[in-house]
Structure 1
Amino acid sequence: MSKLNIETIKFPGLELKRPVIISGPCSAETEEQVLTTAKELAAIGVKIFRAGIWKPRTRPGAFEGVGSLGLPWLKRVKEETGMFIGVEVATSHHVYEALKFGVDMVWVGARTSANPFAVQEVADALKGVNIPVFVKNPVNPDLDLWIGALERINGAGITQLGAIHRGFSTYDKSEFRNHPQWQIPIELHRRIPELPIITDPSHIGGTRDLIADISQEAMDLNFDGLIIEAHTCPEKAWSDASQQVTPARLKEILDNLVLRRPKIGDTPRNALDELRKKIDELDNQLLDVLNERMKISEAIGQYKYENNITILQTRRYDEIMKDRVGRAASRGLDAEFATKIFESIHEESISCQSAIMNRELKRKEGK
């Protein structure tokens, strides 16, 4: 468990209720666009406004934000609508500029959180400041790197701390722009249960059609809020047009969210307890079967050593994967899920066989 000094996140005069909603355009483009979008969002009850001021892009030549020029626009949003304002920061200069214009919260972006030196620079610039600071997950699926970034910010004296789950880059084909890999923020919550977690359906989905489903899944997992990109005219947005929604569509998404009880409380538990008991029994059976399978892998490793056969047999591995994924599909199991399981099993099997060969070689050398 990571030991962080975390206090409740506060916005003066605003009672934060789950789900906390942060919304606004991917990029601040013009003063008119920012103010119009903000007023439409305020009209549907959004209290925290976001807009990208500095936009790190994968390749040069793309729109990289208007820079500090847009900060007075956000200040006008705060003055004219009463909304709180937040921006993403990546350098100490960004932090100083944002604070100069009265930004109420900041977050460290995914590319920045992957670089401990960059995170430390932001942390040092935040010393002595008492505003909410969120840290997006690194672009790569590395939970320890994410926690390390949170620790660096916390080490600068920031106690109003939170995490933003925006998905992870992957080379695999996926319907998502950034795969959610829900198990990672779930594990983050297990390790640091007091840490608020906000999900970013816009960057996970990459398309507005997926935002509603991703938002609902985040709520079903009992995460604390959502940061959703909204633009008064999404199809004309200067960046990430396909993943932004209109304020009207955002209202529809939020109105249709189902918020389930986070705890069982005093409700009857007999049926749930019985189902959980069955899960425990099946898990024990799975562990017994895996134990038996690894014993066979050890025997195979012994045979390969004695007959001078290489450990990795690519053709056999391909046959196994094709057969097992097909069998999984015939049972209604997800192919990606089955692939991950048998990849892990095969990796452990290879490790078992390698251990056998190394042991036998050392034994032979010792003779």
Structure 2
Amino acid sequence: MVVVMQPGVEATDVEAVVERVEAAGGQAFVSRGVSRVIVGLVGDVETFATLDLAGMPGVAQVTRVSTEFKLVSREQHPDRSVVHVRGVPVGPDTVTLIAGPCAVETPEQTLAAARMAQAAGATMLRGGAFKPRTSPYAFQGLGELGLRILADVREETGLPIVTEVLSAHDVAMVAEYADMMQIGTRNMQNFALLQAIGETNVPVMLKRGMNATIQEWLMAAEYIAQRGNLEIVLCERGIRTFETETRNTLDISAVPVVQRLSHLPVIIDPSHSGGRRDLVLPLSRAGLVAGADGIIVDVHPQPELALCDGAQALIGKDLDELATAVTDLTTYMGRSPARRRYRSAG
């Protein structure tokens, strides 16, 4: 069961709902989005029905949701959501381009990649300071030094930064630097990490696990939402199939399926799914026509020297073609390119 509070609800009214539910032996989890507050209830639904929650001050409606992912479901929130990342919208009316190096290597490399991304129309910068690699001997990232480099590049370019966090222990530190925290495919079901990020107010990009079903993906998002953070963007980054010609198989069908089930924005990652530079553009086109709310791609000024995933990083002509495709297909789909809406620090 879900209790949707009225816009601008007083904190005391929310607390009163929580207290009444807990007094009846249930649990109440408060999730705060930009424009709404939702209280998810766990416990005996029949008991909750006797509490007259709908009649309490500040309550807009009480909904009995049949899906397991109650807070991210369209059953309780029919309209699709928009997530704002430092003024950049990700949602149904826009197409958001996120680009940057797979891994932060040096200040010079990161700034050069950011300039490339910006020239292609990107309004957010991706860059990995912590890198979960299949081999323990591969480059693992620069850690907090990489975060400081990203913050410096953000100051130089104005691009909000998206960066991965690997463990619950690091969430507080990464949150000090990041405008959006990314949960990678290998951590999609790291439940301690999901809950820790859910307790922050930093937007999060949740990548689909390479072996995960759509239901499992949405339940992972529910872990975050249940702890209070509704600012979630889902990212389809390719699933593991029998095919060996690509790194993973980009599940284009996941875009409309998830948009039917959930109100959360959905973007795609054509770089990590295909794993090859020549596949990024056609996969991007396919995802945008399928209705994706954005794409996240790798760029690198010298991909042949990249310490991580250089084979999929875009340069030169490829990046120009991507920029053209995003512009043309955004118009074709009746959307507009996402632009940053500057707001004061307060």
TM over 0.5: yes
Number of residue pairs aligned between Structure 1 and Structure 2? 256
Partner of 1:3: 70
Q: Secondary structure at the match of 2:229?
A: coil
Structure that is richer in strand per residue: 2
Q: Percent identity?
A: 34
Aligned to 2:253: 183
- Aligned residue for 1:69? 145
**Looking at CA atoms only, which structure, 1 or 2, has the larger radius of gyration?**
1
* Alignment TM-score, normalising by the size of structure 1: 0.65
**Could you list the runs of 5+ residues in structure 2 that have no partner in the other structure?**
1-66, 336-346
Please give the residue correspondences for 1:142-157 in structure 2 after superposition, counting only pairs within 5 Å. Answer: 142-157=213-228
218-227 or 63-72, which deviates more? 63-72
* Superposition CA RMSD, Å: 2.1
**Cα 1:247–1:81, aligned 2, differ >3 Å: closer, same or farther?**
farther
| Distance in 1 separating the partners of 2:169 and 2:320 | 35
CA distance in 2, matches of 1:181, 1:86: 23
Give the counterpart letter for 1:178 in structure 2: N
Instruction: Give the number of the structure whose residues are more often helix, by fraction.
Output: 1
Cα 1:197/1:45, change in 2 over 3 Å: same
- Give the Cα separation in 1 of the matches to 2:169 and 2:136: 20
Pairwise CA distance, 1:127: 4.5
Unaligned 5+ runs, structure 1: 264-367
Q: 1:127-150: CA deviations, max 9, x gaps?
A: 543222121111104222111110
Match of 2:305 in 1: 236
Distance 1:153 1:256 in 2: 33
Contact 1:44 1:247 in 2 (8 A): no
Matched-pair contact (CA < 8 Å) for 2:206–2:233: yes
CA distance in 1, matches of 2:199, 2:148: 23
Residue 10 of structure 1: SS of its match in structure 2? Answer: strand
Q: CA offset at residue 40 of structure 1? A: 2.8
Q: 2:123 maps to which residue?
A: 47
Greater mean deviation of Cα atoms: 198-207 or 3-12? 3-12
Structure 1 residues 105 and 247: CA distance shift in structure 2, 3 A = farther
Note closer, same or farther for the CA distance 1:24–1:129 as it changes in structure 2 (3 Å cut): same
1:198, distance to aligned residue in structure 2 (A): 0.7
User: One-letter code of the match for 2:233?
Assistant: G
Mapping for residues 175-254 of structure 1, pairs under 5 Å: 175-192=245-262, 194-246=263-315, 249-254=318-323
Deviates more, 1:176-185 or 1:19-28: 176-185
Return the letter of the residue paired with 2:132. P
Distance 1:184 1:40 in 2: 29
- TM-score, normalised to structure 2's length? 0.69
Number of the residue aligned with 1:24: 100
Secondary structure of the residue aligned to 1:21 is strand
Superposed displacement of residue 174, structure 1: 3.8
1:154 & 1:203 partners in 2: Cα distance? 26
